[in-house]
Structure 1
Amino acid sequence: MNKINLYKFSLKNCPRPMRNLVFQFGQRQTGQRQTGQRQALPLRFCAFCLFLSISLHGQTTQLTLSEVVEMAKNQSISARQASTTKETKYWEYRTFLSNYKPQLTLSGNLPAFSRSFIEVRQPDGTIQFQPIRNNNSSLNLSLSQSIAATGGSIYATSQLQRFDDFDRKNTLYNGTPFAVGYLQPLLRFNSFKWDKKIEPLKFNESQQTYIESLEQIALRASGLFFDLLLAQVNLQIAETNLTNTQNILKVANEKYELGKNTRNEILQLQLELLKARKAVGVSKRDLEVASLNLKAYIGLQAEGKIELQTPVQPAALTLSSERAIEQAFANRSDAIAFGRRTLEAERAVAKAKGDNGLNATLTATLGFSNRGITVPELYRKPQDQQTVELQLDIPILDWGRSKSRTKTAEAQRQLTQYTVEQDKQNFQQEIYTQVTLFEMLRDQLSLTVQADSIASEKYRIAQDRYVLGNLSITDLSISFTEKDQAKRDYIYALRDYWGAYYKLRQLTLYDFETESKLK
């Protein structure tokens, strides 16, 4: 392993809390090294990083909610899938743009050898089969440009043809040194015009869909974060309860020796102790499962434990439904899709009308052509070449097929308009409901914080009263339960709040803390 790879390996495997220390060490050493030490320092520095990674292997990794969300957005499998989908849509859009650029094409038949018998009619009307052996090769270089406004195309071409008759040992050339032409469909559906309206909307829609995918990843990551945080809190509660139950049982045994409590209370505490030990085992299992789920989703490869920091109570955000709906219509892919779906329905009607009537194609070409026994002869005094062609396709009797297609497309357009209107109403209602839910959960979080504080204080008082002998074991158990439930309710409230916050970001693609659009 060379020095650079050793350095990268060390930093990659070094736990995140120690990376700043590693970089500070490197900076101090860089400032202190002498000229003669420039070659030795990098290896010592890499060795130091590797030592840290080995010595701290399996240690606890501390993460916050924002760090978990960023890791999920940057390195999870879901993030890579979203990025790949975005790249696919980008290249599809580039393919669309290329349709409106000049196209240079080289085509031909090289070789075009034939050896067979052909039918030849004789002057007296009889048929004879004559053997042939020839090569009829050709090359065609053309430059074309589509015209979106009319649906036609203009082109320039140069052709060269060579014919070899091997039986008669004869070679002939035919070619068009240069020609320009124009092809124009008449009274037909113009796909170029409609694609130019719809494809940019599809591309913009895909860009916003990518941002929505990242916010969906953030929402999922926050849920897994609080799953692990709740398991972490449950283990802390279980271990604390086990310790407290052991201490209380010790006090109860001393009081029992003095005859100040009954055997029933001792049995009750022993039962509580067994429940506490069982709760610790279950909590450890749940913690391991939640930890594995979070690591797998955010793409964290480091071994060891994860210790999550409980998010602080967030600052109050001032939200309004009107503001959220405004940002959603400005940013969401669904808002772009409303216009795209309407245009696609209009395009279907235009196609049905264009394909059901008189279809004609006008082709005109102007250029030069010549023939000869050598290639240079083709370019000496070439002859004028003109072609004009009008192709017609007129339906005379179709038993109402054309009218039916048009009416079907028009009915589908009407249905699309109604569907889009309904989707717009649902779109607004969803955002309005989410804003209302967010504000309610914000208020509930404040109440839950107070309840947690009161339950904890009440439990401490209950412990002291039981030790002093003026509280029953039943009342102490109730205080146990209330304290534990209040702590869990606080974590649940945090989870609901942040879930609603990330859901609101996904629905609006707007950051209400910084008042900026998500990118």
Structure 2
Amino acid sequence: MVLVVILIIILSAISCEANAQKQLSLDDAISLARVQSVDAAVSLNELKTAYWEYRTHKADMLPEVNFSGTLPAYNKSYSSYQESDGSYTFVPNNYLGLSGKFSVDQNIWVTGGKLSLTSSLDYLKQLSSGGTHQYMSVPVGLTLTQPIFNVNNLKWKRKIEPVRYAEAKAAYIESTEKVTMKTITDFFELILAQENLKIARQNLQNADKLYEIAKAKRTMGQISENELLQLKLAALKSKGTVTDMESNLNAKMFQLRSFLGLSEQDNIEPEIPSIVPVMHVDYQSVLEKAHENNSFAKNIRRRQLEADYNVASAKGALRSIDLYASVGYTGLNNSFNSSYQDLMNNQIVSVGVKIPILDWGKRRGKVKVAESNREVIESKIKQEQMDFNQDIFLLVEHFNNQAMQLNIAAEADDIAQQRYKTSIETFLIGKINTLDLNDAQTSKDDAKQKHISELYKYWYYYYQIRSLTLFDFQKNKTLDAEFAEIVKK
């Protein structure tokens, strides 16, 4: 029996612990969101993708070592053969072949060509009568492949890819700040839901109290039946409002828990920020930081480069000339060692030309299309830059004005709370009617909601400026991250 009691106590303690209130400050919520939220995970994977794309691009500039071989190749078949008189016959094939080739390939970004250093060995053994075998070696061979007039893809990639990766890094920091902004929104929605529930419960308590007092006053003939019914109706509405606010609180609680990656047993108790970073920012300073750090500036540069690259590619396709040159030594012998001693010089030079004589303006048309697309992109970029600057101007104006709006809302909240208390006291002595009391209650509720709303806007504008500039104006430093460490997670 004692063990059962102890077990019940332990389970009750665990249950109480599981459903205990979890005090959560705004900073704590932001820290959790940046680590545990789905949005943060998506941003991290996007950064990893960009990182490995950039690593792949850099690897294209380095030598590449390859091995290819056939180990072995067996052939027993018939092949057609033309006799000296012009007639054809079939001859049997029965042989075993082995081959291997090492190559070191290096892209030449300056010219767009490719240089390959190769070494290969082939072995052929006849399995029919005689059973002879031979070795053919290429100890060293050097091959150059070079487009003459085509666009230099490697050179353009060296311009575009670093800008693309810089854009991705800036976008990652921006997305981190946007996670913060989403956290702020959910956090203050929960605060507002809790405050609304407190207001609703307080209003219900006051409404029930006033209705009981009003019934006594009605008995004494101090108020009319209409006023009594209004107070009864207000009490009923307050009960319905409490139910609605409880449902809304549960929804906002679930929303924040889900975003932060918390369990359903965590009952969050958000703490209203008591300290607000009061500061004033300058439009020109914010604009400069935004153009310097924001991914938008990198995005514009990348799109301009890509448009120029498309035009260059279209113009390069107007005429196509490829140069192929190969030099080296070849050895052929029945002995493996001798095949590397009795070497013969070997050179191959090939120039391929493809110049359109008549294509009905197809390639010229592609050039015009690429040039038109570039002009369209330039026009869009110009408009986007104007919109970007305007958005920053409006944001700076809102933020600089928000501190005053917050102070006004805080003072109005205090006044409205005091007025409501006074209105209740005045109503009890019969100096005001129910309409004036309801008006004081509505003003009180609106003032409290307005105060929380203005506090939310201040924090939201603050982090929105950070997300656009990637700069912390409070600490006067650029937002940065250890990208090499982040992508290893």
Q: How do residues 113-512 of structure 1 correspond to structure 2 at under 5 angstroms? A: 113-168=74-129, 169-301=131-263, 303-312=265-274, 314-357=276-319, 359-512=320-473
Q: Which amino acid aligns with 1:127?
A: Y
Q: Which has the higher contact order (CA 8 A, sep 6+)?
A: 2
Q: Which amino acid aligns with 1:375?
A: F
Query: 2:208 is paired with a residue of what secondary structure?
Result: helix
Greater displacement, 396-405 / 66-75 = 396-405
Q: Which amino acid aligns with 2:211?
A: L
Query: Could you tell me whether the CA contact under 8 Å between 1:442 and 1:497 is conserved in 2?
Result: yes
Q: Which amino acid aligns with 1:311?
A: P
- Within 2, Cα distance between the matches of 1:426 and 1:507? 13
Greater displacement, 232-241 / 392-401 = 392-401
Query: Could you tell me whether the CA contact under 8 Å between 1:177 and 1:378 is conserved in 2?
Result: no
- Within 2, Cα distance between the matches of 1:51 and 1:82? 41
Cα 1:469/1:430, change in 2 over 3 Å? same
Greater displacement, 189-198 / 479-488 = 479-488
Partner of 1:19: none
Deviations 1:113-140 (A, max 9, x none): 2222111122332211122122333211
Deviations 1:2-31 (A, max 9, x none): xxxxxxxxxxxxxxxxxxxxxxxxxxxxxx
- Within 2, Cα distance between the matches of 1:55 and 1:284? 21
Cα 1:419/1:361, change in 2 over 3 Å? same
Deviations 1:37-69 (A, max 9, x none): xxxxxxxxxxxxx99866522101111222222
Query: 1:399 is paired with a residue of what secondary structure?
Result: coil
- Within 2, Cα distance between the matches of 1:192 and 1:420? 26
Deviations 1:378-398 (A, max 9, x none): 122422223322222222222
Query: 2:18 is paired with a residue of what secondary structure?
Result: coil
Q: Which amino acid aligns with 2:297?
A: A
Deviations 1:309-340 (A, max 9, x none): 12236242211111111111011111011111
User: How far does residue 143 in structure 1 lie from its aligned partner after superposition?
Assistant: 0.5
User: How far does residue 298 in structure 1 lie from its aligned partner after superposition?
Assistant: 1.4
- Within 2, Cα distance between the matches of 1:290 and 1:201? 41
Deviations 1:332-388 (A, max 9, x none): 11101111111111111211121212x222233332210111322212242222332
- Within 2, Cα distance between the matches of 1:518 and 1:52? 44
User: How far does residue 104 in structure 1 lie from its aligned partner after superposition?
Assistant: 0.3
Deviations 1:126-185 (A, max 9, x none): 211122122333211001111111111222110111112211322111110122233222
Give yes or no for the alignment of 1:73 onto 2:34: yes
- Within 1, Cα distance between the matches of 2:248 and 2:356? 72
Partner of 1:94: 55
User: How far does residue 403 in structure 1 lie from its aligned partner after superposition?
Assistant: 2.2
User: How far does residue 479 in structure 1 lie from its aligned partner after superposition?
Assistant: 1.1
**Structure 1 gap ranges (5+):** 1-49
TM-score (norm 1): 0.86
- Within 2, Cα distance between the matches of 1:478 and 1:455? 10
Cα 1:129/1:180, change in 2 over 3 Å? same
Q: Which amino acid aligns with 1:67?
A: D
- Within 2, Cα distance between the matches of 1:353 and 1:112? 45
Q: Which amino acid aligns with 1:344?
A: E
TM-score (norm 2): 0.91
- Within 2, Cα distance between the matches of 1:400 and 1:212? 46
Query: 2:30 is paired with a residue of what secondary structure?
Result: helix
Query: 2:337 is paired with a residue of what secondary structure?
Result: helix
**Structure 2 gap ranges (5+):** 1-10, 481-489
User: How far does residue 496 in structure 1 lie from its aligned partner after superposition?
Assistant: 2.4
Q: Which amino acid aligns with 1:331?
A: N
Q: Which amino acid aligns with 2:285?
A: R
Q: Which amino acid aligns with 1:424?
A: Q
Q: Which amino acid aligns with 1:307?
A: E
Deviations 1:229-266 (A, max 9, x none): 11100100011111222222333334344443333333
Partner of 2:17: 56
**Number of paired residues?**
470
User: How far does residue 302 in structure 1 lie from its aligned partner after superposition?
Assistant: 5.5
Q: Which amino acid aligns with 1:502?
A: Y
- Within 2, Cα distance between the matches of 1:178 and 1:123? 37
Partner of 1:84: 45
Q: Which amino acid aligns with 1:133?
A: N
- Within 1, Cα distance between the matches of 2:333 and 2:213? 119
Q: Which amino acid aligns with 1:477?
A: N
Greater displacement, 91-100 / 272-281 = 272-281
Q: Which amino acid aligns with 1:209?
A: A
- Within 1, Cα distance between the matches of 2:371 and 2:382? 17
Query: Could you tell me whether the CA contact under 8 Å between 1:361 and 1:392 is conserved in 2?
Result: yes
